[in-house]
Chains A and B, each alone.
Chain A
Amino acid sequence: MSAHADFAAVLLAPTFQCPPGLKTWNGSDPAKRFGVYRNNVVVGLVDALADTYPVVQALVGEDFFRAMAAEFVRQSPPRSPVLAWYGAGFADFVAGFEPVAGLAYLGDVARLEWLRVEAWHAADAAALPLTQLTTLLADTQALPDTRFVLHPALRVMSSAHPVVSLWAAHQADAPEAMLNEIDMGSGEAALLLRPALDVEIMRIEPGAAAFIGRLLAGENFGAAVAEDFDLPATLGLLIRSGAIVATARSAS
């Protein structure tokens, strides 16, 4: 079955080569025709990355993005036919990509966009009924030892860069005006929720992000509340968004 190996060896090669053993009805050079396959492969995978990383693309421009993505495709082609999950390593690639070394925030913007895809396709789960939650939150004896199970689509991230503001600016019709307002020196924490069908990305306090991160790690409520942040507002946000799907008392 050498035809497969011959194709596979050159489909993603950096320079164009035509595999051997091809023929054409009119005797024309098969290289032009093989180029259709080669183009389909790279364009299709770059398109998949462009779908996942639209803000990264907007920040660097389409031409540059496609060239950068093509490099990634050649270095890290997909291992699975489920393309929704292609490009998990793109943020690290972008963060280490020499030509964009001056855009220190780019890797974290990519990380945020990847989390958005994870949130988008995550499993569904019903929120804990409000009556159960209010009873629990009023039970100051039990609450500290309670573990909160959060919605499978919930994600949280902290960045040294204003990732939420950069992302939000590109949801607007005229990003430039909003981009000029961003303090590029300030870090931001992001919370991703899927209260209905759409993923919502919001900026939260760093302390709130740390709290949610500890809940995600399985810590009890009491241990998760470690630093100073607006706990009632954070809990209110989680409850309103249906992000608390179960609770469990720890054995201790």
Chain B
Amino acid sequence: MPAPTRPTLPNLPRCGGVGLKPEHFRTILDTRPAIGFFEIHAENYMVAGGPFHHYLERIRADYPLSIHGVGLSIGGAGPLDAAHLDRLAVLLDRYQPESFSEHLAWSSHNDIFFNDLLPAPYHAGTLALVCEHIDQVQERLGRRMLLENPATYVEFAASTMAEGDFMAEVVKRTGCGLLLDVNNVYVSCVNHGRSASAHLRSLPLAATGEIHLAGFAEDVDAAGDRLLIDSHGADVAGDVWDLYAEALGYVGPIATLIERDNDIPELAVLHAEARQAEAMMAALGADERQAA
């Protein structure tokens, strides 16, 4: 199915952004920090009124906005939840975000919502389903979406494709963009004994519309090998910054979000990480100018 005519394209500024948390609403309005953009989880704002919308309206008036869905279940086995898609359309219509993104994952099955980003095998069946769902989302919302690469803890014997090839095929068939989660690349590669650099390069990087950076938690698997959990509860790790630098080398300066959903620190801490991302983008430009 072709992408909708004249779709809205993802258009976030090439800056560092921060995930918007209610803990920081007042600080943002009081101090107006020079943060490039904010990102919200769509589902948190699917309520009629009250303080969430009060603050979001005021913050959105002054900052670019990314709306990031966590409940559409694009990788789900059943049809998309039409009521949920309608709620998304209402939210996007109200806030006109510069970008909308969702995950290569599923979270609902037979009407039960599991509230987690669950994995699916990479094969032709899942590919057809995911593409059909993305076509439906892009048509309903009248815009191109970004699809985020997942952090996974298990792999499936039934998989016949590598994740990078799967993502590339989805991008090719649907015209969606890539939300490159560098932390997820790192977490998945540690968890599956792979080279993060090779995995990064296997993704459809030319379609990147945004990068996510976050922190992980450390565990070990049954063999005692590292098992990383995508917790969004810590600072961005050094290895992930290194991988981010490599990614910037491939995709150039691009909107980069600091995601933090647990153990949320003061806004200044997240702002400093966003500034670090911007400094790395700026250094990249300087390197290029020197080379030229």
A-B interaction: yes
Binds B, one of A77-85, A215-223, A232-240: A77-85
**Are A77 and B158 in contact, CB atoms less than 8 angstroms apart?**
no
A152 within 8 A of B: yes
A249 within 8 A of B: no
B72 within 8 A of A: yes
Binds B, one of A39-47, A54-62, A182-190: A39-47
**Are B157 and A41 in contact, CB atoms less than 8 angstroms apart?**
no
For the side of the interface on B, what is the size category?
35 or more
Binds B, one of A24-32, A95-103, A142-150: A24-32
Residues of B within 8 A of A124 (CB): 48-50, 53-54
- Which parts of A79-113 form the interface with B (CB within 8 Å)? 79-84
- CA of A28 to CA of B220 in the docked complex: distance in angstroms? 11
- CA of A152 to CA of B50 in the docked complex: distance in angstroms? 10
**A3 and B158 in contact, given A25-B194, A26-B193, A81-B107 (Cβ under 8 angstroms):** yes
Chain B residue, CB-CB nearest to A73: B115
**A25 and B126 in contact, given A5-B77, A40-B116 (Cβ under 8 angstroms):** no
**Are A81 and B194 in contact, CB atoms less than 8 angstroms apart?**
no
Residues of B within 8 A of A80 (CB): 84, 113
B287 within 8 A of A: no
Chain A proximity of B230: nearest CB distance (Å): 9
Q: How many residues of A contact B (CB 8 A)?
A: 48
**Are B48 and A84 in contact, CB atoms less than 8 angstroms apart?**
no
**A197 and B51 in contact, given A7-B118, A36-B219, A84-B44 (Cβ under 8 angstroms):** yes
Binds A, one of B7-15, B148-156, B165-173, B240-248: B148-156
**Are A26 and B116 in contact, CB atoms less than 8 angstroms apart?**
no
**Are B72 and A81 in contact, CB atoms less than 8 angstroms apart?**
yes
Interface residue from A3, A32, A120 paired with B222 (Cβ < 8 Å): A32
B185 within 8 A of A: no
**Are B158 and A153 in contact, CB atoms less than 8 angstroms apart?**
no
**A37 and B118 in contact, given A1-B77, A1-B129, A8-B110 (Cβ under 8 angstroms):** yes
Scoring B52, B111, B153 by chain A CB atoms within 10 A of each residue's CB, the highest score goes to B153
Chain B proximity of A139: nearest CB distance (Å): 31
Chain A proximity mask over B206-243: 1 for CB below 8 Å, otherwise 0: 00000000000001011101010100000000000000
A residues adjacent to B (C-beta < 8 A): 1, 3-5, 7-8, 11-12, 21-34, 36-37, 40-41, 44-45, 48, 77-84, 119-124, 152-153, 194, 197-198
B residues adjacent to A (C-beta < 8 A): 43-44, 46-54, 70-73, 76-77, 81, 84, 87, 106-116, 118-121, 125-126, 129, 153-158, 191-194, 219, 221-223, 225, 227, 229
Could you write out 21 A-B pairs with CB less than 8 Å apart?
Answer: A3-B119, A3-B120, A21-B157, A22-B156, A25-B194, A27-B223, A28-B221, A29-B222, A32-B221, A33-B153, A33-B191, A34-B153, A36-B153, A36-B229, A44-B116, A81-B43, A120-B50, A121-B47, A124-B50, A152-B48, A153-B50
